[in-house]
């Protein structure tokens, strides 16, 4: 397959508007790139296909927002933390996970990695991806 | 993560001269208010040439680094705008910009140019106005519209924080929120979790890093903050400096990070002359000190959606340079880490093996990493006390390393003359370099 000049970013955000969270899967090694990019960072192959991610994920670290790391517009997130998130499909990245506060952090730290689930979140003019603690797990 | 094997230089390259301005808040002082890019860069460049006993005619090419030239200087091609200031008019140059890693990659660029054989002797310099912007620059003004030929105004923290967003990928990192906000505390969180120390022990470690940095800066005439915390604590009514460091005078700014663990953004410039080692006798007639060879430079880059981006990139850069040079961690006599978030200097020193895994925090809390300890780190005072003129800071570390390796640092000279030094550069969400220098005998 040849390299295509294509709008990966726009497609990702359009998919979010349609209610789908998508990544790109390597046709050679099967690794999933999230957020989606042209080539696989695991094996270097650029033959990729779009996949809808399941949304199942786990959180591996917890950092709470503070003066330097919060902004007024983040208030709509409610209680949240930052950390390393791993999708069921394998991709790892930094993300927001809602439902974490100073109060429940000590108990959550004991259980790392903790299950969480992807959600589509409306920001000012576009949608993005955040995660919620998976209470059912 | 991807790995790279780096190979030996085509010929040996050495640093033969260094120069550095004081790091300063230029607009706060009538004596420095009005200084320009050409004056700061030119001073550092000519001081480096003087130190190397070369003239501008001996220098073939110059590299110019600035982290934020449009915001800080209203320039798109900053290397050209200062090209007449140090006697090298007409010689080739290039500008590069890797945010807070610029000054370390300035050495990388210069060494590569000489090692390839294209040039024998080059200048590499960096300048930054991190604390001021061209005037007029009010809240309703833009970066495109300064009118006055040299006057500048203070850059507000609000303005600075707004421009730091430029460090992050607009497509994903900014929209996902977490990538650009993890820079402050990710390393501290990781250290606590993986080394099994308490949050209180991490807090003490962060405070001791600030205290140690300030002890070093107190003995450095180029540093921006020179008053030791023990003296500040006494003035504020604290008998114990740690009580002061844990007080509201040093408030929490992050999940772990306190105010004194954050950079002092400021203005400054630094430069170095880099020469083919084999050409030194021909180019330099009267070198007054030993050349300092660049043994190797490891490089890695992880953008900010990557989990633990600073840690992963540092591990790779350090792995590369050890694999290339064969140098062992126990051979390092001195260590520098760009610590605009002060946690960096603990974590980078452990990755390099300069401090033992999981034990580095104890060395710091015992004062062993200050200039008079057995494992000195950031003897110039680091970003929290020497100051952080973003692009220039890396070369300011190179300046300090070279002076320490010559035994020329006066009252902050480390106990044992360093022969081998590692510098861990970091910045720009995130470029990382691991540089090993060794004195040529």
What is the average per-residue pLDDT within A120-124?
96
Chain segment A25-58, per-residue pLDDT in tens: 999 999 999 999 999 999 999 999 999 999 999 9
- CATH class of the domain whose range is B13-163+264-283: alpha beta
| Residue B352: closest CA among B366, B365, B335 | B335
- How is residue B115 annotated by DSSP? H
Q: How far is A136 from chain B (nearest CA, A)?
A: 24
Domain regions of chain B by residue span = 13-163+264-283
Question: Which site among A43, A58, A60, A82 would you substitute to test the B interface, given the most B Cβ atoms closer than 10 Å to its Cβ?
Answer: A82
Residues B301-322 have pLDDT tens digits of 999 999 999 999 999 999 999 9
CB half-sphere exposure, B119, CA atoms < 13 A: 23
Identify which of B117, B159, B118 has the alpha carbon closest to the alpha carbon of residue B138: B159
pLDDT over 90 for what percent of chain B? 93
Q: Calculate the average pLDDT of chain A.
A: 96
Cβ–Cβ < 8 Å for A53, A24: no
Q: Please name the member of B1, B177, B179 whose beta carbon is closest to the beta carbon of A74.
A: B177
pLDDT of residue B253: 97
pLDDT, tens digit, 9 for 90 and up, residues B248-292: 999 999 999 999 999 999 999 999 999 999 999 999 988 999 999
pLDDT digits 0-9 by tens, B193-251? 999 999 999 999 999 999 999 999 999 999 999 999 999 999 999 999 999 999 999 99
Q: What does the alpha-carbon distance between residue B9 and residue B117 come to, in Å, rounded to a whole number? A: 10
Of A9, A62, A69, the CB nearest to B254: A69
pLDDT at residue A136, rounded to an integer: 55
Closest partner CB to A94 (pick from B175, B179, B253): B179
Q: Is B19 a residue whose pLDDT tops 80? A: yes
B296, B321 in Cβ contact below 8 A?
Answer: yes
| CA–CA separation, B386 and B23 (whole Å) | 7
Is a pLDDT exceeding 70 seen at residue B46?
Answer: yes
Minimum-distance CB partner of B181 among A35, A41, A65 = A65
Q: Cβ of B182 and A63 within 8 Å?
A: yes
Tell me, what's the ipTM?
Answer: 0.96
pLDDT at res. A110: 96
Q: Residues B129-164: pLDDT tens digits?
A: 999 999 875 666 777 788 789 999 998 888 888 889
Q: Say yes or no for a CB contact (<8 Å) between B306 and A82.
A: no
Whether the Cβ atoms of residue B246 and residue B203 lie closer than 8 Å to each other: yes
Q: Give the model confidence (pLDDT) of B318-335 as tens digits.
A: 999 999 999 999 999 999
The share of chain A scoring above pLDDT 90, in percent, equals 96
Residues of A in contact with B257 (CB under 8 A): 66, 68
The reply to whether residue A112 touches residue B193, judged by beta carbons under 8 angstroms, is yes
Mean pLDDT of B168-190: 97
Instruction: Summarize the confidence of residues B111-121 as an average pLDDT.
Output: 98
Residue B416 vs residues B239, B337, B420: alpha-carbon distances, Å: 32, 20, 11
Nearest-CA residue of chain B relative to A122? Answer: B175
pLDDT at B431 > cutoff 60? yes
Question: Please, is B113 exposed, middle or buried when counting C-beta atoms within 10 Å of its C-beta (0-12, 13-18, 19+)?
Answer: buried
Residue B216 exposed, middle or buried by CB count within 10 Å (0-12, 13-18, 19+):
buried
Q: Do A63 and B255 lie within an 8 Å CB cutoff?
A: yes
Q: Which chain A residues are within 8 Å of B1, Cβ to Cβ?
A: 41
Question: Angle CA(A26)–CA(A30)–CA(A31) in degrees, nearest 5?
Answer: 75
Q: What is the pLDDT of residues A63-118, one digit of tens each?
A: 999 999 999 999 999 999 999 999 999 999 999 999 999 999 999 999 999 999 99
Please give the pLDDT value at position B156: 84
Q: In what order do the strands lie in the sheet with B61-65?
A: B92-96, B61-65, B121-129, B267-276, B13-20, B292-301, B431-439, B420-427, B334-337
């Amino acid at each position: 397959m040849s390299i295509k000049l294509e709008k990966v970013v726009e497609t990702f955000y359009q998919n979010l508007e349609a209610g789908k969270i998508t990544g790109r899967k390597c046709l050679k090694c099967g690794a999933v790139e999230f957020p989606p990019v042209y080539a696989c960072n695991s094996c270097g192959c650029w033959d990729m296909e779009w996949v809808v991610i399941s949304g199942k994920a786990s959180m591996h670290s917890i950092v709470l927002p503070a003066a330097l790391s919060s902004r007024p517009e983040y208030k709509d997130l409610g209680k949240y933390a930052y950390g390393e998130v791993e999708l069921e499909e394998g991709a790892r990245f930094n993300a927001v996970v809602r439902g974490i506060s100073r109060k429940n952090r000590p108990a959550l730290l004991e259980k790392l990695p903790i299950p969480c689930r992807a959600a589509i979140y409306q920001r000012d003019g576009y949608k993005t991806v955040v995660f919620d603690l998976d209470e059912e797990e | 993560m991807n790995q790279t094997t780096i190979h030996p230089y085509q010929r040996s390259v050495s640093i033969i001269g260094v120069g550095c301005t004081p790091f300063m808040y230029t607009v706060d002082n009538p004596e420095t208010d009005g200084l320009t890019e050409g004056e700061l860069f030119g001073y550092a460049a000519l001081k480096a040439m003087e130190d190397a006993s070369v003239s501008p005619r001996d220098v073939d090419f110059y590299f110019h680094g600035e982290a934020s030239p449009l915001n800080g200087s209203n320039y798109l091609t900053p290397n050209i705008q200062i090209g007449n200031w140090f006697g090298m008019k007409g010689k080739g140059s290039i500008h590069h910009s890797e945010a807070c890693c610029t000054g370390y990659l300035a050495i990388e660029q210069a060494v590569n140019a000489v090692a390839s054989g294209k040039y024998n002797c080059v200048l590499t310099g960096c300048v930054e106005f991190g604390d001021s912007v061209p005037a007029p620059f009010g809240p309703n003004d833009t970066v495109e519209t300064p009118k006055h030929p040299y006057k500048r105004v203070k850059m507000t923290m609000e303005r600075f924080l707004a421009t730091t967003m430029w460090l992050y990928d607009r497509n994903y990192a900014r929209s996902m929120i977490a990538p650009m906000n993890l820079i402050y505390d990710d390393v501290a969180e990781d250290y606590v979790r993986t080394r099994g120390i308490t949050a209180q022990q991490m807090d003490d470690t962060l405070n001791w890093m600030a205290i140690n940095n300030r002890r070093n800066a107190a003995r450095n005439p180029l540093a921006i903050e020179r008053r030791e915390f023990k003296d500040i604590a006494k003035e504020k009514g604290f008998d114990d400096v740690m009580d002061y460091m844990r007080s509201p005078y040093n408030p929490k700014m992050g999940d772990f990070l306190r105010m004194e663990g954050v950079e002092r953004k400021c203005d400054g410039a630094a430069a170095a002359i880099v020469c083919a080692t084999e050409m030194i006798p021909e180019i330099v007639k009267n070198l007054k000190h030993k050349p300092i060879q660049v043994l190797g430079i490891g490089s890695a880059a992880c953008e900010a959606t990557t989990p633990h981006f600073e840690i992963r990139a540092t591990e790779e850069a350090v792995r590369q340079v050890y694999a290339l040079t064969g140098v062992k961690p126990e051979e390092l006599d001195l260590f520098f880490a760009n610590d605009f978030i002060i946690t960096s200097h603990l974590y980078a020193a452990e990755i390099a093996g300069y401090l033992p895994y999981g034990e580095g925090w104890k060395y710091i809390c015992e004062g062993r990493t200050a200039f008079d300890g057995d494992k000195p780190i950031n003897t110039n005072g680091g970003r929290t006390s020497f100051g952080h003129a973003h692009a220039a800071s890396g070369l300011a570390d190179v300046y300090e390393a070279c002076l320490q390796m010559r035994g020329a640092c006066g009252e902050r000279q480390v106990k044992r003359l360093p022969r081998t030094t590692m510098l861990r550069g970091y910045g720009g969400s995130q470029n990382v370099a691991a540089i090993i220098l060794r004195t040529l005998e």
